[in-house]
Amino acid sequence: MRKFLILFGREVSSAFHQPLAYIVLFFFLIVTGFNFQAGVTLLNTGAGTVTMVQAFFNTVYFWFPFVLVFPLITMRVFAEEAKMGTIETLMTAPVKDVQVVLAKYAGCLFFYFILWAPSLIYFVVFQEITGVKAAEAVGSYVGAYGMLLLMGLLFTAIGCLASALTDNQIVAAIISFAAILGFFFLGLLSFLLPSTGTFLRELTYYLSPVEHMMDFSQGLFDTRPVVFYISSTLLVLFATFHIFQYRRWKS
């Protein structure tokens, strides 16, 4: 556990040692701020069927930075070590490979949490100023942020896998971006397919992040997405671990 914490600390500090972290934080704040502002505008003009939390988590301004940010967070983690050769000193230190992989993954997740943390303040400020409840019930918060966490778990893992595949950060970013975007669009298919009840419709609905977020931000819990995100996260992490280890494979 001590070694995991040491590695985790290194991951977090190395993330903040590079200018990219601050650029990402800066633009992320701008876009989510704009998203919030758009939500307020919607509430001002709309019929009032949605709450602030729903308005915030279900717009294109939410999804756009959300999808974009994972490659930026994760492209570095394995690719840079491979490129600089520090993977050699890392893998010959007396630490388990699984500790390294989990620490890097946890480091990325930590950064992801920091990105989203300020958004909590928005809702507090919103209630304070307007006197209108941002959500109908606590479940709405728990649902929205729970889904944010679940999707973050999977997409961060996908980014880590992409980074472990190559020693080029740009290639890693493109792979994870393509994978995450492909998954996202697969979910959007459910809006195009006309009839309900067909297998394809059910499948895309089952996989759709947009649908999941729509349900969860209303406070509607469904165990299927929870199982889906956690199990696929474990699968992707398992693959990442073995890719990271390929240098130790017997040939």
Partner 1 sequence: MIKVEKLTKRFGGFTAVNGIDFEVQKGEIVGFLGPNGAGKSTTMRMLSGFLPPTSGKAEVAGFDVFADSLQAREHIGYMPENVPLYTDMRVSEFLRYRAALKGVPGRRLRERVGDVLELCGLKDVEKKLIGNLSKGYRQRVGLADAMSHEPDLLILDEPTIGLDPNQIRLVRDLIRNLRRHHTILLSTHILPEVEMLCSRVIIINKGRIEALDTPQNLRAHLGQAGRILFDAIVPDASAAASALRALESVQSVSHRADGEWTVFTIHAASGNDPRESLYRHAVDNKWRVREISRPPVSLEQVFAEVTGGEES
Residue 23 interacts with partner 1 (CB under 8 A)? Answer: no
C-beta closer to partner 1: residue 91 or 226: 91
Select from 4-12, 175-183, 193-201, 210-218 the region that touches partner 1 (CB under 8 A).
Answer: 4-12
CB 176 within 8 A of CB 72: no
Residue 247 interacts with partner 1 (CB under 8 A)? Answer: yes
C-beta closer to partner 1: residue 37 or 86: 86
C-beta closer to partner 1: residue 62 or 78: 78
CA 93 – CA 90 distance, rounded (Å): 5
C-beta closer to partner 1: residue 88 or 202: 88
C-beta closer to partner 1: residue 199 or 249: 249
Residue 202 interacts with partner 1 (CB under 8 A)? Answer: no
Q: Write out the binding residues for partner 1, residues 87-146 only, by CB under 8 A.
A: 87-89, 91-96
* Member of 14, 59, 127, 232 binding partner 1 (CB under 8 A): 14
CA 85 – CA 153 distance, rounded (Å): 28
* Member of 23, 84, 170, 230 binding partner 1 (CB under 8 A): 84
Residue 19 interacts with partner 1 (CB under 8 A)? Answer: no
Closest contact distance (angstroms) between CB of 214 and partner 1 is: 41
Select from 14-22, 170-178, 201-209, 220-228 the region that touches partner 1 (CB under 8 A).
Answer: 14-22
Q: Indicate the Cα dihedral angle 10, 160, 184, 220, nearest 10°.
A: -60
Select from 12-20, 29-37, 107-115, 159-167 the region that touches partner 1 (CB under 8 A).
Answer: 12-20
> And the tokens for 25?
């934080």
Select from 52-60, 182-190, 220-228, 241-249 the region that touches partner 1 (CB under 8 A).
Answer: 241-249
Closest contact distance (angstroms) between CB of 23 and partner 1 is: 16
Residue 22 interacts with partner 1 (CB under 8 A)? Answer: no
> And the tokens for 191?
């809006």
In the complex, which residues of this chain contact partner 1 (CB under 8 A)? 2-3, 6-7, 9-10, 14, 17-18, 84-89, 91-96, 247-251
